[in-house]
């Protein structure tokens, strides 16, 4: 926010609406949640001072944003509301006393207890079931009408196709659960890493990634992203909910039995003191949770008491969000460095005056790429806001305009035109926001990163060869090409700094252990752009000797599902390079393959074997996962988007666009029954 000048109401409202458009509309907020919340608080304060009724303030704020018009609409059975926020214990005390006063007035004599649970930082979703079967899903949209994302969420972790209930949902033919779609931190990190590798959009935090991934027009894109849904409430259709759960805490336990994931950690049915201890505990341990949270939600537990309090146009009166202080800090930019990645990508990184964010000392923060740097216009000497988002890499959010900084700002930072490490030429690939050094492994930075990848866990898995040791061995000229790793011996390393007899022996042992490997591991370890472990596996199924890769043809590669022109181009470029060929030949002298001809698994052969399948719509007889397992058990593959290499499309109820695409591509289409019938043939 920075500016000390008082803003007018009109200006504040305009800013709030702009930020809502960026956050809800574009999934790309321009300010931190904290700054947005503070603007909203300013509006409440101004309106209170001028006697503007709260319901008018809330009307301005709304609960979301108009939906993307490309989506079909789903009208919510009951509005999807937002929550009122408090930022300190005073605010929470006020909430507790408001609830108590209200219930007293209503002559409530029973005990007043609360449930408190983590506030997941994701995207709100409403999921409908009829007679226990998944029917549709919608985003919050503007609160009244949401975006139809039914196809996108089929099969998502935490959204059962069929509810796990033997005795039926007592009186609940229709059942609507509300909750949050999130990226677990581990999934978000892996996803961003993958995006970075293929120079695709890298998300600044898990919430934006979840929103961007959920609101895809192509449902196969959403399905390919590891999202998770947590249920935190349900729509009460005329008191029926109370039949099987009298309180929020008991509802959550029922929802868990049905097959939903529910917010954890949580405390249930407690008085206010215990709620405060819970808040303290969560604030101290939030870093260790598997997902990002932006606070704790405190809810009156009893459904009858909730009903008495009711809701405003924007939020229920029986619940409140306690927002934790934001993990954003300000610090000084001492300089901007350029890091060169494994594939030559030049990443600008701000060198910072060390700052403490949530207990972690941060002295570097990424500026992502040239476009981001230009947009944020960060310069040495600036004060910036930084945050540690879901990603472990801290990032610069924006420059904080200060008076002194305005006067003596440094020069606008220019990205180098040559590689800062090897002075090689850089190029900007069409459609990508990254500059890339074209020197490949000739560039010392890329060579070092290639070695770090080669020895990493999923690659050759050489224990004791971390990034620091790799750098040390390069500096000592012991590693000049990749295969030199296998030339290291006890006497060459035991005398090095930081090595002792024991650690040298351990390293040599683990290098020796890694010599026995598989085709796919070695291929993946070579670090060819776009060739991940799965692609490496598929390619290796096509060869009998590793050397066959030197002469494999484009046509043969095209036969492999999910291997497209980008992968093939990168693959062929690598193997056509004479230096790479020499490197690989040297490596082949050092390694031994586990019996490459042994079939990896015993499979029952049938019409599925070596064929690829796509599923669309809601299956009636099988759960989606059961159908997919059937295919895999018989040696087939399940894919998430229709390509010319897809062999079968199996459709259930309300199939999505994949069915049409499959028909258009002349792919064999089968109903669920026809598919099951074929197993008896
Ligand atoms: S209860 C009427 N519980 O936070 C809305 N909401 O900022 C009642 N959220 O719209 C919501 N975790 O999408 C509830 N444990 C939780 C939550 C949660 C995240 C979201 C929800 C809500 C938003 C308000």
Would the pLDDT of 591 be above 90? Answer: no
**408-445 per-position pLDDT tens digit:** 788 889 999 999 999 999 998 767 778 999 999 999 99
**532-569 per-position pLDDT tens digit:** 888 898 899 888 889 999 999 999 999 887 788 989 99
Q: Is the CB of 529 under 6 A from ligand 1?
A: no
Q: Which helix (H) or strand (E) holds 321?
A: strand 319-323
Q: CB neighbours (10 Å) of residue 72?
A: 12
What pLDDT, on the 0 to 100 scale, is given for residue 219?
A: 87
Taking a C-beta distance cutoff of 8 angstroms, is the pair 490, 564 a contact? no
Out of 143, 289, 297, 314, mutate this one to test ligand 1's pocket (max ligand atoms within 8 Å of CB): namely 297
Q: Domains, the chain, ranges and CATH?
A: 9-61 (1.10.287.610), 74-323 (3.30.470.30), 327-403 (2.40.50.140), 443-593 (1.10.150.20), 612-678 (3.40.50.10190)
Q: Is the CB of 83 under 6 A from ligand 1?
A: yes
Active site residue 119: yes
Distance from the alpha carbon of residue 83 to the mean position of ligand 1, in angstroms: 6
Q: Is the CB of 120 under 6 A from ligand 1?
A: yes
Distance from the alpha carbon of residue 119 to the mean position of ligand 1, in angstroms: 6
Distance from the alpha carbon of residue 569 to the mean position of ligand 1, in angstroms: 46
Q: Is the CB of 82 under 6 A from ligand 1?
A: yes
Give dist(CA 630, CA 502) in Å, integer.
50
Q: Is the CB of 146 under 6 A from ligand 1?
A: no
Tokens representing residue 547 in the block? 């050397």
* Global pTM value: 0.54
Q: Is the CB of 117 under 6 A from ligand 1?
A: yes
**285-332 per-position pLDDT tens digit:** 888 899 989 899 999 999 999 999 999 989 999 999 999 865 788 899
Distance from the alpha carbon of residue 617 to the mean position of ligand 1, in angstroms: 28
Catalytic residue (one of 119, 376, 398, 658): 119
Q: Is the CB of 233 under 6 A from ligand 1?
A: yes
SS3 5: coil
Distance from the alpha carbon of residue 81 to the mean position of ligand 1, in angstroms: 8
**510-534 per-position pLDDT tens digit:** 898 888 889 999 999 999 998 988 8
Do the bridges between strand 328-340 and strand 345-357 make them parallel or antiparallel, or are there none, so unpaired?
antiparallel
CA–CA distances in Å: residue 93 to residues 86, 116, 276, 306: 10, 15, 10, 18
Give dist(CA 589, CA 595) in Å, integer.
16
> For residue 233, which atom of ligand 1 is closest to its CA?
1
Mean pLDDT of 61-80: 84
Distance from the alpha carbon of residue 497 to the mean position of ligand 1, in angstroms: 54
**612-639 per-position pLDDT tens digit:** 888 888 888 887 767 877 887 788 887 7
Taking a C-beta distance cutoff of 8 angstroms, is the pair 642, 665 a contact? yes
Q: Is the CB of 333 under 6 A from ligand 1?
A: no
- Smallest CA separation from ligand 1 atom 22, residue: 82
Quickly tell me which residue has 């409202």 as its tokens: 13
Give dist(CA 152, CA 158) in Å, integer.
13
What pLDDT, on the 0 to 100 scale, is given for residue 600?
A: 46
Give dist(CA 108, CA 118) in Å, integer.
28
Chain centre to alpha carbon of residue 486: 37
For residues 644-661, one letter each, b for 16 or more C-beta atoms within 10 angstroms of the residue's C-beta and e for the rest, the string is: ebbbbbbbbeebbebbeb
What pLDDT, on the 0 to 100 scale, is given for residue 391?
A: 42
């Amino acid at each position: 926010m920075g500016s000390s000048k008082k803003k007018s109401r009109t200006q504040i409202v305009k800013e709030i609406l702009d930020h809502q458009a960026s956050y809800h509309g574009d999934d790309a907020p321009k300010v931190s949640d904290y700054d947005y919340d503070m603007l909203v608080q300013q509006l409440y304060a101004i309106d209170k001072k001028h006697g503007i009724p709260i319901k008018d303030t809330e009307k301005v704020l709304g609960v979301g944003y108009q939906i993307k018009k490309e989506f079909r609409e789903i009208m919510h059975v009951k509005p999807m509301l937002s929550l009122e926020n408090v930022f300190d214990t005073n605010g929470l005390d006020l909430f507790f006393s408001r609830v108590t006063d209200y219930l007293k007035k209503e002559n409530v004599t029973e005990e007043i207890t609360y449930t408190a649970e983590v506030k997941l930082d994701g995207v709100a979703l409403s999921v409908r079931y009829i007679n226990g079967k998944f029917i549709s899903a919608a985003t919050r949209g503007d609160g009244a009408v949401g975006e139809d994302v039914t196809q996108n969420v089929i099969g998502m972790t935490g959204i059962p196709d069929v509810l796990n209930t033997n005795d039926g949902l007592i009186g609940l033919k229709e059942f609507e659960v509300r909750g949050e779609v999130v990226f677990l931190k581990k999934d978000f990190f892996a996803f961003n890493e993958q995006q970075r590798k293929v120079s695709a959009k890298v998300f600044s935090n898990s919430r934006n990634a979840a929103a961007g991934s959920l609101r895809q027009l192509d449902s196969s894109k959403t399905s390919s992203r590891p999202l998770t849904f947590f249920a935190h409430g349900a729509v009460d259709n005329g008191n029926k909910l109370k039949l099987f759960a009298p309180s929020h805490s008991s509802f959550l336990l029922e929802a868990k039995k049905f097959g939903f994931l529910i917010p954890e950690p949580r405390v249930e049915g407690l008085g206010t003191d215990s709620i405060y201890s819970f808040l303290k505990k969560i604030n101290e341990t939030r870093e260790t949770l598997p997902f990002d949270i932006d606070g704790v939600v405190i809810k009156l537990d009893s459904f009858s008491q909730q009903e008495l309090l009711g809701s405003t146009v924007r939020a229920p009166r029986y619940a409140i969000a306690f927002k934790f202080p934001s993990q954003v800090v300000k610090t000084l930019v001492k300089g901007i460095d350029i890091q060169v990645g494994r594939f030559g990508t030049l990443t600008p990184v701000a060198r910072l005056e060390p700052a403490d964010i949530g207990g972690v000392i941060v002295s570097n923060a990424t500026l992502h790429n040239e476009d981001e740097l230009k947009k944020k216009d960060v310069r040495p000497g600036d004060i910036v806001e930084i945050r540690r988002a879901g990603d472990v890499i801290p990032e610069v959010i924006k420059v904080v305009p200060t008076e002194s900084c305005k006067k003596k700002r440094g020069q606008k930072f220019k990205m180098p035109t040559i590689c800062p490490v090897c002075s090689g030429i850089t190029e900007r690939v069409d459609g990508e926001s990254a500059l890339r050094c074209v020197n490949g492994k000739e560039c010392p930075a890329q060579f070092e990163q290639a070695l770090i990848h080669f020895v990493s866990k999923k690659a050759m898995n050489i224990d004791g060869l971390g990034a620091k040791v790799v750098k040390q061995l390069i500096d000592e000229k012991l590693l000049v090409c990749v295969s030199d790793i296998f030339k290291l011996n006890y006497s060459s390393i035991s005398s090095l700094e930081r090595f002792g007899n024991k650690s040298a022996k351990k390293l040599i042992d683990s290098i020796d252990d890694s010599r026995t490997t598989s085709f796919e591991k070695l291929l993946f370890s070579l670090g060819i752009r776009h060739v991940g472990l799965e692609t490496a596996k598929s390619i290796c199924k096509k060869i009998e000797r590793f050397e066959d890769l030197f002469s494999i043809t484009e046509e043969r590669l095209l036969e492999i599902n999910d291997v497209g022109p980008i992968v093939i181009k990168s693959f062929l470029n690598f193997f056509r390079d004479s230096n790479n060929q020499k490197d690989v030949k040297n490596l082949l002298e050092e390694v031994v393959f586990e019996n490459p001809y042994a079939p990896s698994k015993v499979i029952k052969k049938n019409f599925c074997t070596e064929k690829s399948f796509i599923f669309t719509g809601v299956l009636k007889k099988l759960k989606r996962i059961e159908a997919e397992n059937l295919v895999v058990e018989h040696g087939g593959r399940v894919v998430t988007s229709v390509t010319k290499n897809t062999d079968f499309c199996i459709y259930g109820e309300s199939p999505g666009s994949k069915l049409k695409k499959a028909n258009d591509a002349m792919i064999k289409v089968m109903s669920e029954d026809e598919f099951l019938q074929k197993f008896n043939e």
